[in-house]
Amino acid sequence: MHLLVKGTSGRLTGEALVPNSKYHAHRALILASLAPGVSRITGLSDARHVQYTVGLLRGLGTKIDIEGDTFIVHGGPYRPVRDSVSAGSSGTTLYFMIGLASLAETPVVVTGQKYFQRRPVGPLLRSLQQMGVELESADDCPPISVAAKRPTGGHVTIAGTLSQWISGLILLAPFATGRTVIEVEGELNEQPYIELTVEMMKQFGLIVKASPDWRRFEIEPDQQATPCDLIMPPDIGSAAFGIAAAALHPSDILLRGLHQLSGGPADHPEVHFLDVAREMGVPMELTDEGVRIRHDGIRLNPTKIDCRGIPDMLPILSVMGTFADGETTFSNIAHVRLKESDRVSAMLQLNQMGGDLDLDGDILRVRGVDGLVGAKLSSFNDHRVLMSLAVAASTARGESTLTYPNAYRISYPAYLEAMNGFGIPMSVEGGTPSKNERPQRTLPIQASRPDLAAKTTLSDWLARWAEERPDDLAVLDARPRATTKITWGELNQRVDVVASQLIKLGVQPGEPVALQLPNWTEFVIIALATMRIGAVCCPLMPIFREREIAFMLRRAKARVLFVPETFRGREYAAEISRLVDGDGVEPPEELKHVVVLPGDVQSGGDWVPGPVAWHDWNDLLSGEVDVEALAQRKPTPEQTAQLLFTSGTTGEPKGSLMTGGTLSRAASMEIKHLGLDASDAVYIPSPLAHQTGFLYGMWLAMELGVPQIIQAVWDPRRALAALREGNGSFVQAATPFLADLVKAVEAGEEAPPELRIFVATGAAVPRGLAERATRVLGTAVCGAFGTTETCLGALSAPTDEPVKVWGTDGRALDGIKLRITDDTGRVLAAGTEGNFEILSPTYFEGYLDRPDLTAEVYTADGWYKTGDLGVIDESGFIRITGRVKDVINRGGEKVPVAEIENLIYDHPSVDDVAVVAMPDERLGERACAFVVLKSGHSLGFEDMITYLDDRQVAKYYWPERLQLIDALPRNAAGKIQKFLLREQAKELRPQRIEGK
pLDDT at 648: 44
Q: What is the DSSP letter of 408?
A: G
Pairing of strands 811-812, 791-795: antiparallel
Say which DSSP state 827 is in: B
**Cβ-contact 209, 179 below 8 angstroms:** no
pLDDT digits (tens, 9 = 90+) for 431-461: 544 555 455 556 777 788 899 999 999 999 9
Each residue's pLDDT tens digit, 222-250: 999 999 999 888 888 899 999 999 999 99
Domains and CATH numbers, the chain: 2-8+234-429 (3.65.10.10), 22-216 (3.65.10.10), 886-985 (3.30.300.30)
511-549 burial, b at 16+ Cβ within 10 Å, e below that, comes to bbbbbbbbbbbbbbbbbbbbbbbbbbbbbbbbbbbbbbb
Residues 808-821: pLDDT tens digits? Answer: 889 999 999 999 99
Is 570 labeled as ligand-binding? no
Nearest to 402 by CA among 410, 415, 391, 414: 391
- Provide the pLDDT confidence category of residue 310 given band limits of 50, 70 and 90: confident
What pLDDT is stored for residue 51 in this prediction? 81
* Cα–Cα distance measured from residue 662 to residue 493, given in angstroms and rounded to the nearest whole number: 26
Which of 55-59, 119-123, 478-482 shows the lowest per-residue confidence on average (mean pLDDT)? 119-123
Dist. CA 27–CA 268, nearest whole Å? 12
Residue 308's pLDDT is what?
A: 83
For residue 616, indicate whether it is catalytic: no
Q: Are 733 and 739 in contact (CB under 8 A)?
A: no
CA distance 949 to 945: 6
Q: Is the Cα dihedral 897, 900, 903, 907 positive or negative?
A: negative
Written as one letter, the residue type at 271 is V
pLDDT at 972: 44
C-alpha 359/C-alpha 354 separation (Å) is 16
Mean pLDDT of 915-921: 89
> Span 376-387, mean pLDDT?
89
Per-residue pLDDT, averaged over 910-931, amounts to 89
Q: How many CB atoms lie within 10 A of CB 156?
A: 24
Q: How far apart are CA 563 and CA 334, in angstroms?
A: 52
User: What is the chain's length?
Assistant: 996
- The CA-atom distances, in angstroms, between 31 and each of 100, 165, 171, 561 are 10, 16, 8, 73
Mean pLDDT, rounded, for 416-421: 91
CB atoms within 10 A of CB 912: 17
Is residue 668 a known part of a binding site? no
pLDDT for residue 895: 80
Query: How many other C-beta atoms lie within 10 A of the C-beta of residue 469?
Result: 14
Of 896, 902, 900, the C-alpha closest to 883 is 896
What are the E-state strand segments in 134-246? Answer: 135-136, 144-146, 154-159, 180-185, 209-210, 216-219, 229-231
Amino acid identity, position 907: H
* Paired sense of beta strands 37-42 and 70-75, if any: antiparallel
Longest dimension (CA), the chain: 101
Give the per-residue pLDDT at 903.
Answer: 87
The confidence score (pLDDT) of residue 13 equals: 94
pLDDT score of 432: 44
Kindly give, in sequence order, each residue whose CB lies less than 8 Å from that of residue 874, ignoring residues fewer than 6 positions away: 120, 122, 123, 126, 140, 830, 831
Neighbours of 214 (CB within 10 A): 18
pLDDT band at 115 (very low <50, low <70, confident <90, very high): low
Task: Dump the DSSP string for 85-107.
Answer: EE-TT-HHHHHHHHHHGGGSSS-
User: Which DSSP letter does residue 402 get?
Assistant: E
Question: Which helix or strand (DSSP H or E) is residue 28 part of?
Answer: helix 22-34
Q: Is 315 helix (H, G, I), strand (E, B) or coil?
A: helix
Residue 268 confidence class, pLDDT cut points 50, 70, 90? low
Residue 860 pLDDT exceeds 80: yes
The H or E element spanning position 767 is helix 767-777
Q: Alpha-carbon distance 771 to 378, whole Å?
A: 13
> What is the pLDDT confidence band of residue 734, given thresholds at 50, 70 and 90?
confident
Among residues 140, 235, 267, 312, the one annotated as catalytic is 312
Pairs from 488-496 (Cβ < 8 Å, separation ≥ 24)? 488/462, 491/462, 491/466, 491/524, 491/525, 491/528, 492/462, 492/463, 492/465, 492/466, 493/625, 494/525, 494/621, 495/462, 495/525, 495/528, 495/529, 495/532, 496/529, 496/532, 496/625, 496/630
Give the N- to C-terminal CA distance of the chain in Å, as an integer.
Answer: 40
Annotated binding-site residue? 27: yes
Residue 164 in marked binding region? yes
Q: Are 56 and 97 contacting, i.e. CB atoms less than 8 angstroms apart?
A: yes
Say whether pLDDT at 143 is over 80: yes
Is 119 part of any known ligand binding site? yes
- 556, containing H or E segment: helix 546-556
What is each CA distance from 296 to 41, 190, 253, 301, in whole angstroms? 40, 35, 12, 16
At 973, the pLDDT band (50, 70, 90 cuts) reads very low
Crossing angle of helices 22-34 and 163-172, rounded to 10°: 20
Bridge partner list, 41: 71, 230
Question: What pLDDT, in 10s, does the model give residues 879-891?
Answer: 887 666 666 888 8
Please tell me whether residue 876 adopts helix, strand or coil conformation. Answer: coil
Instruction: Please state the pTM of the whole predicted model.
Output: 0.59
Residue % of the chain over a pLDDT of 90: 63
Query: Does residue 349 have a known ligand-binding role?
Result: no
Q: Got the DSSP string for 228-292? A: -EEEPPB-HHHHHHHHHHHHHS-EEEEEET---SS--TTT-TTTHHHHHHHHTT--EEE-SSEEE
311-331 residue pLDDT tens: 889 999 999 999 999 999 999
Contacts of 619 (CB under 8 A, 6+ apart): none
Residues 6+ apart with CB under 8 A from 227: 32, 35, 36, 37, 38, 39, 75, 204
What is the C-alpha to C-alpha distance for residues 874 and 140, in angstroms, rounded to an integer?
A: 8
pLDDT band at 975 (very low <50, low <70, confident <90, very high): low
Per-position DSSP letters for 636-653, written without gaps between them: -TTSEEEEEEE--SSSS-
| In the predicted structure, residue 850 carries a pLDDT above the cut 50 | yes
Say how far residue 499 (Cα) sits from the centre of its chain: 38
Q: Strand, coil or helix: what is 24? A: helix
Q: Across the chain, what does the average pLDDT equal?
A: 89
401, 4 contact by CB (below 8 A): yes
CB–CB of 892/692 below 8 Å? yes
The 10s digit of each residue's pLDDT in 332-378 is 898 787 666 788 988 999 999 999 999 888 899 999 999 999 998 98
Contacts of 532 (CB under 8 A, 6+ apart): 459, 462, 495, 496, 499, 630, 633, 635
DSSP string, 571-636: -HHHHHHHHHTTSSS---TT--EEEEEP-SS-----PPPSSSEEEEHHHHHTS---HHHHHTT---
> pLDDT tens digits for 45-104?
767 788 889 889 999 999 998 887 788 999 999 999 988 998 887 888 999 999 999 999
Give the distance from CA 156 to its chain's centroid: 33
Of 32, 144, 29, 149, give the one whose Cα is nearest residue 95: 144
Rounded Cα–Cα distance for residues 64 and 55 (Å): 9
CA distance 119 to 122: 9
Query: Phi and psi at residue 486, in whole multiples of 5°?
Result: -135, 150
